[in-house]
Amino acid sequence: MFSSSTQLKFWTFSGVTELNRLRAEANETYVSEYGKNETIYYLTAEDETKVRRHYEYVIKDFCTRFQPPMPRSVLGTALVFFKRIYLHNSIMDYHPRDIQHTCVYLACKVEEFNVSLQQFVAQLKGDREAAMDVILSQELLLMRLLHFHLTVHNPFRPLEGLFIDLKTRCEDIDNVERLRPGAEEFLDKALHTDVPLIFSPSQIALAGILASGKNAGVSLDNYVANKLLVSGGQENLLKTVEHIKRIKYMVKNQDPLIREDVKILERRLDACRNPENNPNSETFKRKMEEYLDDEDEKKAKKRQKWEEVRLCFVHSSVYIQIFLSFSRRNQ
Amino acid sequence: MSDLACPRCKTTKYRNPDLKLMVNVCGHSLCENCVDLLFVRGSGSCLECSVPLRRNNFRLQMFEDSYVEKETDIRKKILKDFNKKEEDFSSLREFNDYLEDVETIVFNLTNGIDLEETKRKVELYKKEHQDSIRKNRAKMSKEEEELEDMIATEREIVENNRNIIQAEINREKKQKLKQKEALIDDLMFSDLPANHIVATHQQEVSSQKIKSSELKTTKFSTGISMGKRDAFLPIKPVVEGKVFTYSPLTIHTAGPDFPPAHDIQNLGYLSHIRAASDQERAGGYEASLACERALQEAFCGLYLTS
């Protein structure tokens, strides 16, 4: 249930200002740690937002083209994962190109949409073996970045619930189903904004239905005020209505994304990204090798220790035999 | 055990279950019959290493491995002379060094390393420490003394117990006799009718019996005595904690109340969703489950204020 979820406790924020502050902090931390080289241009928080939004659309494209077709909740979960990660981390630290597929793969698991890794990689272009390595090596990292809060409450099921309720309690509205395409489109758009990080999924779903109703010329005010929210009193009603207005505003007024800008920023990102997390860089390979060497060394040490223990055991068993024989003689 | 065999006559334990292997100082084994045959004259040489042996040095082999046998033998001999105790040394370190030396000597002798030199060493030690060896042999070690003490005290306790029991029995016997005599005396000299006297005496005897049985208490090994009066004292009342009271689970939904699960059908919600198929119902799925979940999620968090 959403009211007792980690989503509400840790991943629901007061508003855009707080989100932007967190992102700016993540950007500053990265620049203060790695930004020693003055010849390189480090991305600002605004640049990061642009790149991030670009990759959100990339993820959406990938998910809609996926065969077999995946449920929309997978896309929703993947996008929320993606947003959560870049709240506390800079895209220069973890490149979205590596993160995006892992997000979708993990979302498939979380939403119980069963695809094997081979099946999943088959949908990608380019080197599939390498992609497989990246996904497997980053899955755990990704979960750590998400603080292992893997359950995401998407607005899709609340939307269904609202439709059922609408059909049951408002028989005066004919053909409720015609509101569906508009509402779903609204939710799709909402996924690309910061709305899932600020509002509850049911509020987003309600905003979707209301927006769709407005477009179709159906007034749902009566339903909302006198049926759905009647038990909460006037105060709650007003608050919810205000929230829904905010959601509608945020979904409708998105900044357009300029393709050329993103291209330039991506080129800059390649220069300033963290080499330790780049699977193609020398630093990463060296680190990996060191790690593997360490493992080997540990294993060798372990084997040596075992040998010592074994010898010790053999010696002591001889002594025990001698001792026993001696004591038996004495008796 | 079946591969135990005499090296001379090749008899095995399997063929002769009574086979007894004997061993001498050199550590090579022979069966009892062969020893009888070969050492009729009381002495001879070992078949394998031709070391001169005496017949009365033969003893039963206790270990399958003759090496261990030889080792124990040598150890026993060496320890007869190297019989110093820990209290003979000023520090633990010295004592340990001494033990180490003894082990080295035993090892050398068993494995035939520096045989001559080691033997000389042992002889030298014997000569040097003649007095102390003799003294130590005579002196019982501390541990042995303690053990002896313990056994003695134990024996004493047992003896005491037996005496007490014996005294008790004697006392009872005496009492019985006394009672009988008293009864006869009364019958002889009293003016009361005979059956009356018998009845009073019987009463007395039975009351005494009850008294003695009351006094008897059995003590268990755990120290709890049985048969004592205070075993029947009332049990102290146990102070109990507060009794658990059930309070129904309250769910904070931050939204309007959702229709209760049992009313979903009555309120007509189910007519708007797909009915569960037979296969789905076989697995325990009901249409109301999905409906309830969707409604819960739709209502939960509607009043949320961030």
B68, B267, B297 ranked by CB distance to A2: nearest: B297
Q: How far apart are CA B178 and CA B208, in angstroms?
A: 13
- With contact defined as beta carbons under 8 Å apart, do B49 and B115 qualify? no
- Does A68 sit behind a cis peptide bond, omega within 30 degrees of 0 on the bond before it? yes
Q: Report the CATH fold assignment for B1-61.
A: Herpes Virus-1 (3.30.40)
A14 in contact with B, Cβ within 8 Å: yes
pLDDT digit string, tens, across residues A253-278: 888 888 888 888 888 888 888 777 77
- Residues β-bridged to residue B54: B43
Per-residue pLDDT at B306:
66
Q: Identify the closest residue of chain A to B62 by CA–CA distance.
A: A325
Q: How far apart are CA B167 and CA B157, in angstroms?
A: 15
Question: Tokens 């042999």 label which residue?
Answer: B137
Chain B residue numbers touching A317 (CB-CB < 8 A): none
A199 in contact with B, Cβ within 8 Å: yes
Chain B residue numbers touching A239 (CB-CB < 8 A): 303, 305
A314 in contact with B, Cβ within 8 Å: no
Q: CB–CB of B303 and A168 under 8 A?
A: no
Domain extents in chain B:
1-61, 71-138, 158-215
Q: CB–CB of A157 and B297 under 8 A?
A: yes
Per-residue pLDDT at A152:
94
Q: Is A99 helix (H, G, I), strand (E, B) or coil?
A: helix
Q: CB–CB of B72 and A325 under 8 A?
A: yes
Q: Identify the closest residue of chain A to B255 by CA–CA distance.
A: A232
A183 in contact with B, Cβ within 8 Å: no
Tell me the CATH number of domain A2-153+258-272, given options 1.20.1250.20, 1.10.472.10, 3.40.50.720, 1.10.10.60: 1.10.472.10
In the predicted model, is pLDDT for residue B159 greater than 90?
yes
Q: CB–CB of A4 and B252 under 8 A?
A: yes
Give me the amino acid identity at B2: S
Chain A residue numbers touching B269 (CB-CB < 8 A): 164-165, 168
**Token pair listed for B78:** 């060496």
Per-residue pLDDT at B66:
76
B72, B291, B303 ranked by CB distance to A326: nearest: B72
The CATH code for residues A155-252 is 1.10.472.10
A242 in contact with B, Cβ within 8 Å: no
Q: CB–CB of B295 and A167 under 8 A?
A: no
Count of Cβ atoms closer than 10 Å to residue A279 Cβ: 14
**ipTM computed for the complex:** 0.78
Q: How far apart are CA B193 and CA A145, in angstroms?
A: 109
The pLDDT tens digits along chain A (331 residues) read: 888 899 999 999 988 999 999 999 999 998 888 877 777 788 888 888 999 999 999 999 999 999 889 999 999 999 999 999 999 999 888 888 889 999 999 999 999 999 999 999 998 888 888 889 889 988 999 999 999 999 999 999 999 999 998 888 888 887 888 899 999 999 999 999 999 999 999 999 999 999 999 988 888 888 888 888 888 788 888 889 999 999 999 999 888 888 888 888 888 888 888 777 776 777 777 777 777 777 777 778 878 888 887 777 777 777 777 777 777 766 5
Give me the amino acid identity at A104: V
Number of A:B CB contacts under 8 A? Answer: 119
Chain B residue numbers touching A3 (CB-CB < 8 A): 251-255, 300-301
B43: which DSSP letter? Answer: E
**Side-chain-side CA neighbours of residue B159 (13 Å):** 6
Q: CB–CB of A8 and B63 under 8 A?
A: no
- With contact defined as beta carbons under 8 Å apart, do A22 and A222 qualify? no
pLDDT digit string, tens, across residues B36-84: 888 888 888 888 888 888 888 888 877 877 788 888 888 888 888 887 8
DSSP string, A47-108: HHHHHHHHHHHHHHHHHHH-SSPPPHHHHHHHHHHHHHHHHHS-TTTS-HHHHHHHHHHHHH
DSSP string, A147-189: TT------SHHHHHHHHHHHHHH-TTS--GGGGHHHHHHHHHH
Per-residue pLDDT at B1:
47
Q: CB–CB of B300 and A167 under 8 A?
A: no
Chain B residue numbers touching A165 (CB-CB < 8 A): 269, 295, 298
Chain A residue numbers touching B273 (CB-CB < 8 A): 164
pLDDT digit string, tens, across residues A284-297: 777 777 777 777 77
Q: How far apart are CA B111 and CA B118, in angstroms?
A: 12
Query: Which residues, including other chains, have CB under 8 Å from residue A22's CB and lie 6 or more apart?
Result: A13, A87, A88
Domain extents in chain A:
2-153+258-272, 155-252, 281-317
A200 in contact with B, Cβ within 8 Å: yes
- Alpha carbon of A1: minimum distance to chain B alpha carbons (Å): 7
